[in-house]
Amino acid sequence: MNYPVTRTEDEWRKLLTPIEYSILREAATEQAFTGALLSEHRPGTYQCRACSAPLFNATTKFESHCGWPSFYQTDTGEAVELIDDFSHGMVRTEVRCASCGSHLGHVFDDAPQTPTGQRYCMNSAALSFVPDSA
């Protein structure tokens, strides 16, 4: 897919920390319950750490107790792209930033307590949080 934001892998390595690069560009996963944004509860917007594209509004965040920040819907229908993921002997749906193609996490249809029934399970290191202005 052609993404609006493109960089060489060397440019990504210079822009991102090693853990961010591993997650965003190599589809790694941070350890559960370690992410800085897991306990973030202020109003605001979650953006792609790599390109700053808006991804999720804080109003859609919920406590799924899975160990990663969870949201029940994206900011807009075009914020992410969904990719079939058959890695690690599982069938999952990978979530990537639609602006730069960076790996964010996975989405699951296992959240009946939400309006959409979906759980976008995101890596904290793949996101930046921008609080709403006071």
Task: Give the pLDDT confidence of 52-101 residue by residue, as tens digits.
Answer: 999 999 999 999 999 999 999 999 889 999 999 888 788 889 999 999 99
| Stated pTM of the model | 0.93
Residue from 79, 66, 42, 53 nearest 122 by CA: 66
Q: How confident is the model at residue 134 (pLDDT cuts 50, 70, 90)?
A: low
Domains and their CATH numbers in the chain: 9-131 (2.170.150.20)
Question: Catalytic residues, which ones?
Answer: 121
Average pLDDT over residues 29-51: 96
